[in-house]
Structure 1
Amino acid sequence: MPALYPEGFKRKAIHRYEKGESIKDLSRELNIAQSSLYHWSKLYCLVQTPQRTYTPKEFDAISRRLEKLEHEMEIIQATGYLEEIPLQRKLKTLEQMYRTEDTPYSVHELCEALGVARGTFYNHIFRRADRSEREKEQEELMIKVQQIFDDSQQRFGAEKIRTVLAQNGVRVSAKRISAIMQELDLRSVRSDAKKHYKKRQQYAKCNLLERKFTAERPNQIWVSDITYFRINDYWVYLCIILDLYARRIVGYRVSRNASTNLVTATFRNAYQERNKPKNLTFHSDRGKQYTSGAFMQLLQTNGIKQSFSATGRPHDNAVAETFFATFKKEEAYRREYTSEQSFRKSVEQYIRFYNEVRPHQTLKYQTPQAFEEKYYASFIENGCSNSAME
C-alpha cells in the first residue's frame, strides 16, 4: 500500500523544489519516489504571471476555459454571421461600448472581437465628432435665421438676413442662408409668391392609402410621423419612418427642433440604408415639416409618391400613431431621462427590440425583421433576381 503523506509535508517538499533543489536530491533525502514528487509539483507548484499568482488547480481551470472560448470563437467565425452584420451597425455597437463609462475593453479588443479595423473605427469616431460640431453650428445658425426672418415679419430674403447677421458679427454667405431658408420653408415676399403658393397647394395632397395599411412587399409604402417628449425643462422630438409591409422601423432621428431638417435627415438616412428603393409611396400627416417645399422637392426628385392624411384625422396615419403609443407605454413612460443622450439611447435600444425581438400581432406574432427576411428568402428560393425584390 503506498505511503500517505500529510498535505503540509507535500507542500514543504515542493516549496524546496521551487527554491532550487532538484527532484533527484529531494527524492534521495526524503526517501520518496521521484514520480511522486513530480506528481506533487503539478498539484502545488504556483504559476506566476505578470498579473497574479495561480495555483495549479486555478491555472488548469483557466486553461480549460480558454480552450472552450477558443472553440466557441472558431464556431462563430466558421458560421460567417459576423461578416453578414453591416459595418455601420458594428461601428455603432463598438462606439456605444467604447463610450461606456469604466469600460473594461480596449479599442484593440473591441475591434478585434467584431472584425473591424481600428483605423476604420477611429475614422468613424472622428467623423462623428466633426459632424456633431457642424450640426450644432448649423442648428444655431438656423435659429438665428428663423429669428431674423420672424422679426422682419417674414419679409427679408437671404441677402437681407445675411446683412443683419454680418452686423452682429456672424459671417456667412447668402447661398448658405438661402439653403437654410429652403430647409425651414421660409419664403420672403416675392413677385411670384402667389404662383409658388398655388403650385404647392396643387401638388398631390391626397390620401393614397385611405386607411388601407397593407403592402405587398418591403419598401412599397413608408409611413412617418413626429412625436415629442419632455426632458427636464426642454422638449425633444422623435421622427420615425415605418415600412408598412413588415411594420419595421427603417429610419428614426431625435432632435430638439421639430424642423424640416429633422424629417429630411431621417428620410435621407433611411432611403440610403434601404438602397434607394423604387416605386415608393411616402405617407404622413399634413404637418409643416412634411408639406415644406424642401421636403416635397426631395421626394419629387427621387420619384417618390407623397400621400397625406386628411386634416384633423389622425386615424389616417394610425400605424405610426400606434407605434408612438406603444413606444411610450413600453419604454418612455417607464424611464427617468436625465438628458437628451439618455433619451436617444433609450430610443435606439427600443427600436432594435421592436424590430428584432418583439412579436407583432399583425404579422402573426413574428418580429418585423423575421417577417421581412422571410419575404426575401422566398425570392432566393425561387431564384428571383434582385430587381424583382424592389
Structure 2
Amino acid sequence: MNTKHDPVKKQTVISRYKSGEPISHIVQDTGIPRSTIYNWLKLAKATETSRKEPTLQNLRLLENKVKRLEGIIEILKAADCSPKDPLKVKLDALEKLQQQHTYSVHMICEALEVPRGTFYNHILRNKRENTSYVEHRAKLREVIQRIYDESNQIFGYKKIFAIMKEQGHHTSPEMVQNLMREMGLKSIRQGAKSTYKKEQRKFNNHVNQQFTVTRPDKVWVSDVTYFRFDDKKFYICAVIDLFARKVIAYRIGKSNSTQLVKATFRAAYENRCPSQSLIFHTDRGTNYRSNSFCAYLKSLGVTQSFSKAYTPYDNSVMESFFSSLKLEELYRSKYRSENEFRTAVDKYMIFYNEQRPHDTNQNKTPARKEREFYRDCKGRSVVSN
C-alpha cells in the first residue's frame, strides 16, 4: 500500500538486504524507515511463497495477507488523514484509532507509515502531560476500589477487568494490574495463610479504623504519596493529627526513603512536643518498618500502629487527604519549575488547615477546631481554680 517509493527503489533495497548487507546500513544510506523496509521484505517473501506450488501453509499466508490488507484499507477509511499528511496530524489520528481498541498498533502504524517507536513515544509524552489522562486514571482507580471492596478483597486484576469491561469501562488488563499495584490492592487469596501468620506475630493495629479521638496529639497518622513533575517523581510525606484532621508536618523528597518519613515525624514531634501517650499509625511501607525508624519512635515512647495488610481503609484519613491535595491542587495546575511546585504545596497546606472546612469537624477548619479545644480547656482550668 506504500506509494511513497517507486518499485525500482524497493527492489534495490530488497536485493541489497538479500546480498547480506546489514539493514542498519541500508536505513542510513537511503533514509527509509526500518519498519518500511521490513514491510517490503515481508511482502516480497509472501509474493515468492505465492508463486510456489500451492500448499495449505501458502494458502494461510495468503489469507493472512488479505486480512492485513483489508484491515489497512479499513484504517485508511476510518482515519482523519492520509499517509502523506504531516507527522503530527498522523500521530493524532493514530491515537484516536488506538483508543478504539479495534486495530492493533502495528497495523495502524503500518497503514499511516509511522514507526511504532515514534508513536509509543508520542503516547507516553501525552500521558505525562495530559490532565484528562490523569483524571481518567483517577476514575478507574475509584471503580477498581469499589469492585475490589464489593468482592471482599477476593478478586484479582483479571476478574476486576472482566467486571469493568462488562460495565462499559474502557481499559485493559495491564492497566488494571498496574493501577492495583500502585494502590496496593491484592487478592487476599494470594498468600492468605502466610499473611495470617504474620498478623499473629507483629504489626499491631491500635487504631482499627477508630478515627475519632478526644484530644490533639493522641493519634497521628501518616503516609507518602508521589507526584510526577518534569519527568521526575516527587514524594510527599505528611503527618495528620486525627483530632482536628490538621496537617502538622510535611516534607517533599525525591525518594521514598526512611530519611523522608523520619524527618517529617521529627518536624511534627519537635513542633507539637506531645506530653501524653501518642500513637503513630501508618501503612506497612518499608520506610515506616525500618529498624532505624522503629527504634527512633521507641526512644520517644511513641506507640507504633500499622494498618492490616491490603486494607487501605485502615489509613483512609491519609488516603482522603492525598486525594484532596491532588484533585484540588496538583492535577489542576501546570508548574513551570520545581520551586513553583513546592510553593503550591506550601500554600495548599495552609489553605487546608486554615480555610478549608472539614466534614468531620462539623465544617470547621482543622485550625479552628484545635483552637476551640485549647480555649475550652483553658476556660475549664480557670473555673476550677
Q: TM-score range by the shorter chain?
A: 0.3 to 0.5
TM-score for the superposition, normalised by structure 2 = 0.47
